[in-house]
Chains A and B, each alone.
Chain A
């Protein structure tokens, strides 16, 4: 019995798509964090257009996956929660974009 090499996982980039990032809102969050060093919750909310609850929910999932980290800092006398991508998050985002590019290129 011969193995159909065309159907292995390596040749099906769609299988490798990170479903966590694939969700549009989460992709939007990661894209915005990718292009800056860090941002606070409010800035992210304004840029992505997500509601407070929606953003918080997606952030929790990304944080659980260790794609982003939440850092509490003081800016002046006020506490600020800053968000930034982890190294894993940056790599995952880059890999996701690469995978999507491959999927689109392989389309007939």
Chain B
């Protein structure tokens, strides 16, 4: 009976509906592919590879939400508890992204300070980066109740140390392509499928003035 409705489940359903558009999957896919092609891009365009690595993912997310998702499913303001959770999740993702990116770039460019290099010998650095990325993203997955993000946490968290191992065996640029780009292509493809399904399921409605 509808009167038996579970309000917590209803709120969660409303919350989850705001990220069923596939944009997070596309963003993680783009990030993974970008990580994988760094060695190739760096050789071609030098330091300009940094904006190429950093910019596409957040831009895709921001513009996707603004021009595709919100016009199709509308706007909602959740309660204070959910808003606080969302703010915390955004902060964590930004911090994890920045820290992981900095450490990742320092690792591949071998620019770690000497003292840190002696402290973190061998694979300790990439494993540390991987673990911090994994923990941060897993925490976000828990806060958002977004199951697929656990997979992306594993791909990024495990990918960094695996890339370091492969670098010593298969060398550049294959270590990046195998560790990140190939899984990234699968994630990106899945994101695009979700995105196109979302657009078919929720076509653009009539203009605001026609709705009421």
Contact = CB atoms under 8 A, between A and B. Distances in A.
Contacts of B211: 41-42, 45, 52, 56, 81
A104 B161 CA distance: 58
**Highest count of chain A CB atoms <10 Å: which of B17, B73, B74, B211:** B74
B80 to A, nearest CB: 8
Interface string B1-30: 011010100110110010000000000000
**Highest count of chain B CB atoms <10 Å: which of A35, A46, A82, A97:** A35
**Highest count of chain A CB atoms <10 Å: which of B73, B75, B202, B211:** B75
B79 interface: yes
Nearest to B211: A41
Nearest to B79: A37
Nearest to B78: A36
A75 interface: yes
Contacts of A45: 74, 205, 211
A31 B78 contact: no
Q: Looking at chain A's contact residues, is the secondary structure mostly helix, strand, loop, or mixed? A: helix
Nearest to B73: A46
B14 A47 contact: yes
Nearest to B210: A52
B212 A81 contact: yes
A31 B7 CA distance: 7
Contacts of A36: 11, 14, 76-79
30 contacts: A24-B2, A31-B5, A31-B10, A34-B7, A35-B7, A35-B11, A35-B14, A36-B14, A36-B77, A37-B77, A37-B78, A37-B80, A39-B74, A40-B74, A40-B75, A40-B76, A41-B74, A41-B211, A41-B212, A43-B74, A43-B75, A44-B74, A45-B205, A45-B211, A46-B73, A46-B202, A47-B17, A56-B212, A78-B208, A80-B75
